[in-house]
């Protein structure tokens, strides 16, 4: 969230700065330029936040989150658990890397600023103080150029000049002091620290300081000759030690300053150019307002638990025409079963684990999709209602009919959740749940077992085929009378062969019980319906099956 905000601020500052560089920088309206630079800097930091306050004043009834993709299939428990571990902060992620780099850069920029303050403190601590009209002059022992900072003017005893030049310098620094230029510098420094990686922030700082010099130069040349003042600047252009956050008379923008001093004043009608900022402000304002309405988000960055995932797989939020979609929620819903845990972090971790356990225990990779080698992501959208119930499940990203149906089945049969809350009140929360169906690479070349045609749409074809065989044997298996008379009971184990055309036949008796029982078992198998043959890749292959057949007499028959 914060990194997204920084990017929006960077976009605002870029737009405002380009407008300044293209239209305003060459004008001699120095006070207006100062106001524009400082105002656009502050406005650029606020615009990304304003739409939320204006467009989302009402309490939300529906918010939206996207869960971490859950892997179904190969090593599903281990992979998905690892995925949630990463999302919860256990793994290394790009968002964590970006956050770390940002904070390190922020620390360096802050250190630079703190070093400038420390320099000022050391100069001020050992300086002799002289009170002037509205400010204080600090006579320092260390060699440096004259500069000002807020209500203090710092003048080194090592800096010597004639009286006229001294008065010029004093008037220049008084302009910085009485016009509160140091306050602008502090704002610019804060912006440069906030977006230390962004060159426009540093250009803003440079332009603000340059505009300060224009204003101070303008102030001095009201009483002194521009020609003599320009010569003073040229004579003293060799810079000594300069404090980074100060206002110094002899800055590096000397050529630009002299040009602006000698330039003809801009005509008054040129002030109309500043109206160009209004449509730009409106464009940025409504652009962020629109994006604020369309975004679905959670706590980013991207270390949060699965209930707070930001990786949007489908930008689809249910809309029934009455419930608004909102951006944030104070307490996201949690999967049920962990309400007794008091610590919120541990409770959410438990809820994530409970949801994973529910999914892995109940979900099955549809046989027809496995058979065809279909892999990919199905996204199911559903709503956790105010009472915690799950409603309106629908597939918003389809992959294959059987996979879609399995994903829907899992969501439809979910137990009630602990509802989400906003400002202490239950709210409706929309979720996008991505289920990633993935096959084991080693299984792609494995043999797909044969099955009966009536089991084609069954989730578990093996179980279905076993039931077909069981039903057939119950209807067709006959207990030999000779075996009954002799009291023979037990199992006959047959090895069946399903050929490339799906025909089933008994190949051999692996375990014999009695010649009559063995034959009865073979005869019963002969009537089995034709199966869909096994496949390896795209080729049909013959396979074998071991079939135990039990011969048991009832109590009456035994008597």
- pLDDT tens digits in sequence order for the chain, 559 residues long: 688 889 999 999 999 999 999 999 999 999 999 999 999 999 999 998 875 545 444 444 455 556 666 666 544 444 444 444 444 444 446 777 888 899 999 999 999 999 999 999 999 999 999 999 999 999 999 988 899 999 999 999 998 888 888 999 999 999 999 999 999 999 999 999 999 999 999 999 999 999 999 999 999 998 888 888 888 887 766 544 455 555 655 555 788 888 898 889 999 999 999 999 999 999 998 888 655 544 433 333 333 334 433 333 333 344 455 454 443 567 888 888 888 888 888 888 898 888 888 888 888 888 778 777 788 889 999 988 889 899 999 999 899 998 999 999 999 999 999 888 887 888 888 888 888 888 766 655 567 788 888 888 777 788 888 889 999 988 888 999 888 888 889 999 999 898 988 899 888 899 999 999 999 999 888 888 999 888 877 788 888 888 999 998 877 666 5
* pLDDT for position 228: 83
* Ramachandran assignment for 337, one of left (phi > 0), alpha (psi -120 to 50 degrees), beta (any other): left
Same domain, 104 and 229: yes
Last residue of a domain, one of 441, 474, 495: 441
Q: Are strands 62-66 and 425-438 parallel, antiparallel or unpaired?
A: parallel
Any domain includes 176: yes
Cα separation, 221 vs 232, whole angstroms: 12
Cα separation, 90 vs 420, whole angstroms: 25
* pLDDT for position 558: 60
Same domain, 360 and 431: yes
In the beta sheet, which residues pair with residue 534? 541
* pLDDT for position 115: 93
Q: Give buried/exposed letters for 241-252 (b at 16+ CB in 10 A, else e).
A: eebebbbbbbbe
* pLDDT for position 25: 94
CATH number, residue 456: 3.30.2420.10
Same domain, 484 and 436: no
Classified as helix, coil or strand, 328 is coil
Cα separation, 319 vs 325, whole angstroms: 8
Last residue of a domain, one of 441, 466, 491: 441
* pLDDT for position 317: 45
* pLDDT for position 89: 42
- DSSP codes joined into one string, 457-497: T-S-HHHHHHHHHHHHHHHH----HHHHHTT--EEEEEEEE
Same domain, 107 and 29: yes
What range defines the domain where residue 457 resides? Answer: 447-558
Same domain, 211 and 252: yes
Same domain, 433 and 518: no
Same domain, 331 and 433: yes
Same domain, 317 and 427: yes
CB-CB contact of 152 with 135 (8 Å): yes
Same domain, 455 and 384: no
Residues composing the chain? 559
Tokens describing residue 351: 């809820």
Same domain, 355 and 323: yes
Any domain includes 405: yes
Any domain includes 131: no
Q: What is the pTM of this model?
A: 0.52
Any domain includes 86: no
Classified as helix, coil or strand, 526 is helix
CA atoms within 13 A on the CB side of 255: 0
Q: Are strands 325-326 and 62-66 parallel, antiparallel or unpaired?
A: parallel
Same domain, 104 and 228: yes
CB-CB contact of 150 with 177 (8 Å): yes
As for how many domains the chain has, the answer is 3
* pLDDT for position 412: 92
Any domain includes 298: no
Classified as helix, coil or strand, 10 is helix
Burial of 161 (0-12, 13-18, 19+ CB in 10 A): middle
Any domain includes 50: yes
Give 466-474's long-range contacts (Cβ < 8 A, gap of 24+): 468/529, 469/528, 469/547, 472/524, 472/527, 472/528, 472/529, 473/524, 473/549
Any domain includes 121: yes
Same domain, 453 and 411: no
Any domain includes 143: no
Of 213, 211, 203, nearest to 148 (Cα)?
213
Last residue of a domain, one of 407, 441, 475: 441
């Amino acid at each position: 969230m914060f990194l997204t905000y920084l990017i929006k601020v960077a976009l605002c500052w870029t737009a405002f700065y380009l407008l300044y560089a293209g239209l305003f920088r060459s004008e001699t309206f120095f006070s207006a330029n100062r106001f524009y630079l400082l105002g656009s800097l502050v406005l650029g930091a606020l615009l990304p936040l304003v739409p939320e306050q204006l467009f989302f004043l009402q309490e939300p009834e529906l918010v939206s989150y996207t869960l971490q993709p859950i892997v179904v299939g190969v090593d599903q428990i281990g992979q998905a658990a690892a995925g949630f571990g990463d999302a919860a902060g256990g793994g290394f992620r790009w968002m964590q890397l970006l956050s770390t780099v940002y904070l390190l850069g922020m620390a360096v920029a802050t250190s630079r600023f703190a070093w400038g303050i420390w320099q000022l403190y050391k100069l001020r601590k050992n300086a002799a103080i002289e009170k002037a009209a509205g400010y204080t002059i600090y006579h320092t022992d260390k060699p440096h150029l004259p500069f000002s900072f807020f209500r203090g003017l710092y003048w080194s005893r090592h800096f010597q000049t004639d009286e006229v030049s001294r008065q010029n310098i004093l008037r220049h620094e008084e302009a910085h002091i009485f016009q509160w230029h140091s306050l602008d510098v502090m704002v610019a420094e804060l912006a440069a620290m906030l977006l230390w990686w962004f060159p426009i922030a540093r250009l803003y700082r440079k332009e603000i300081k340059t505009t300060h010099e224009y204003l101070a130069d303008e102030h001095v040349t009201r009483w002194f000759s521009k020609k003599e003042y320009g010569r003073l600047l040229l004579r003293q252009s060799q810079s000594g030690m300069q404090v980074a956050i100060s206002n110094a008379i002899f800055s590096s923008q000397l050529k630009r300053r002299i040009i602006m001093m000698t330039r003809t004043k801009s005509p008054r009608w040129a002030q109309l150019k500043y109206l160009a900022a209004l449509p730009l402000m409106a464009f940025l304002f409504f652009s962020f307002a629109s994006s604020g309405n369309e975004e679905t988000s959670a706590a980013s960055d991207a270390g949060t638990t699965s209930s707070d995932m930001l990786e949007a797989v489908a930008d689809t939020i249910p809309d029934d025409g009455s419930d608004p979609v909102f951006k944030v929620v104070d307490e996201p819903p949690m999967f049920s079963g962990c309400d007794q845990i008091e610590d919120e972090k541990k409770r959410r971790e438990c809820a994530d684990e409970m949801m994973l356990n529910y999914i892995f225990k109940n979900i099955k990779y549809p046989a027809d999709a496995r058979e065809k080698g279909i892999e990919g992501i199905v996204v199911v959208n559903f709503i956790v209602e105010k009472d915690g119930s799950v409603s309106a499940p629908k597939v918003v990203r389809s992959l294959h009919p059987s996979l879609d149906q399995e994903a829907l089945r899992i969501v439809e049969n979910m137990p009630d959740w602990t509802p989400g809350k906003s400002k202490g009140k239950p709210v409706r929360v929309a979720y996008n749940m991505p289920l990633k169906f993935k096959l084991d690479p080693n299984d792609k070349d494995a043999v797909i077992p044969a099955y009966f045609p009536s089991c084609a749409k069954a989730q578990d074809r093996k179980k279905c085929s076993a039931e077909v065989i069981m039903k057939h044997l119950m209807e067709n298996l006959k207990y030999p009378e000779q075996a009954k008379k002799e009291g023979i009971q037990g199992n006959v184990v047959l090895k069946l062969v399903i050929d490339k055309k799906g025909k089933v036949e008994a190949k051999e008796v692996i375990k014999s019980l009695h010649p009559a029982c063995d034959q009865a078992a073979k005869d019963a198998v002969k009537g089995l319906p034709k199966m869909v043959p096994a496949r390896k890749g795209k080729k049909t292959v013959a396979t074998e099956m071991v079939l135990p057949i039990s011969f048991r007499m009832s109590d009456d028959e035994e008597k």
